[in-house]
Amino acid sequence: MVKLEKQFQKLDESIKGAKRILITAHKYPDGDALGSVLALHHALKAKNKLVSTPYFSDPLPSFKFLPGFGEIKTKFSPKNIDLLLGLDYGDFKRLGREFNNFSTEKVITIDHHLPSDHRGILQIVRPDFSSTSEILHCFFKKAGIAINKDIATCLLTGIYTDSGGFKHAVTSSRTLKAAADLISCGASLSQIIKETTLLKSPSVLRLWGKALSRIERDLKTGMVYSLITANDLRGKNSEDLGMGDLAAVISMISGAPFTLLLTEHKPNEFRGSLRSEFYHNIDVSKIAKVFGGGGHKLSAGFEKKGSLDEILEQIKKAPGVRREIA
């Protein structure tokens, strides 16, 4: 914790010395990505960093309940940024192409993903935390930054969603203490659960039904998988389909060492969502890396062009899959 406190001091100093700050996280942002970015944005505004800008190219409308969601920018000019705070990205390329040529000297990373391609003059990477939002809660406490209701709501959303509703093994006593503190600061856990987990439209549930009806099990690896086709998605481009929640539902199938949900967002262009549980001792982030993706040991994702059969065959040959299942 001593090292972490020193890193927090350097982070605080860097923020104080910057005039134009951009805050972002991985593309296709989840609750932790959006929650941590917006929480830090609120905190910097309170410190009179009026040029703090939260950026995402594709923010999900299902998180519009988060305070500050309307302040998210979908465009920015690199020339106007002297500090990039990259949160929760795992691999730098997951921030998006627009950051490919960004100077490392202008980057600070805050993340809880296992070290991959993290960049920056300061890298605060702690896989022992449930979420990037939990790391920020710790930072705010150490730096004496007041946590108001807006910040608390954003942070608790990140912690709740990335801990799998406090079900994942990475949920610790520190995680639960942080959540309790955020509730005492005004965050409503019941609202967050309702907004992130419970509210689904009829069309989304019908789509889920199609995926659930297609569930298959691979007899060689034990993998359970399903598919959403491009045809299924026709006319649903502007709607949040809750693919992360659907992947979590599929992961409930008993006896599955790991699960896969493939979403064909364009013909033969897929996004894969991998899930597992700690007692299976399978690191799905290693499988995702075969396709250039990444994530956590128990939850990871990737993008891949090709056919369903090609992708399944590559997964069967991925490092550790056959050996760990056998």
Residue type, 52: S
Residue 239 is predicted with a pLDDT of: 56
**216 phi, psi to nearest 5 deg:** -130, 160
Residue 299 is predicted with a pLDDT of: 87
The pLDDT tens digits of the residues spanning 268-281 come to: 999 999 999 877 77
**100 phi, psi to nearest 5 deg:** -55, -40
Pairwise CA distance, residues 185 & 268, whole Å: 46
The residue among 244 and 125 whose pLDDT is bigger is 125
Name 22's bridge partners. Answer: 53, 84
For residue 2, pLDDT beyond 70: no
For residue 169, pLDDT beyond 60: yes
Q: Which residue has the tokens 């979403």?
A: 263
The pLDDT tens digits of the residues spanning 218-234 come to: 988 999 999 999 999 98
For residue 14, pLDDT beyond 70: yes
The pLDDT tens digits of the residues spanning 113-142 come to: 887 789 899 999 999 999 999 999 999 999
Residue 50 is predicted with a pLDDT of: 54
| Residue of 162, 236, 167, 157 lying closest to 204 (CA atoms) | 236
* Single pTM value for the model: 0.85
| Residue of 282, 272, 258 lying closest to 306 (CA atoms) | 272
What domains appear along the chain, each with residue ranges and CATH number?
Answer: 2-196 (3.90.1640.10), 202-325 (3.10.310.30)
Confidence of residue 143 (pLDDT cuts 50, 70, 90): very high
Over residues 40-54, mean pLDDT: 80
Q: What is the edge-to-edge ordering of all strands in the sheet holding 216-217? A: 216-217, 224-228, 258-266, 269-276, 299-305, 294-295
DSSP letter, residue 91: B
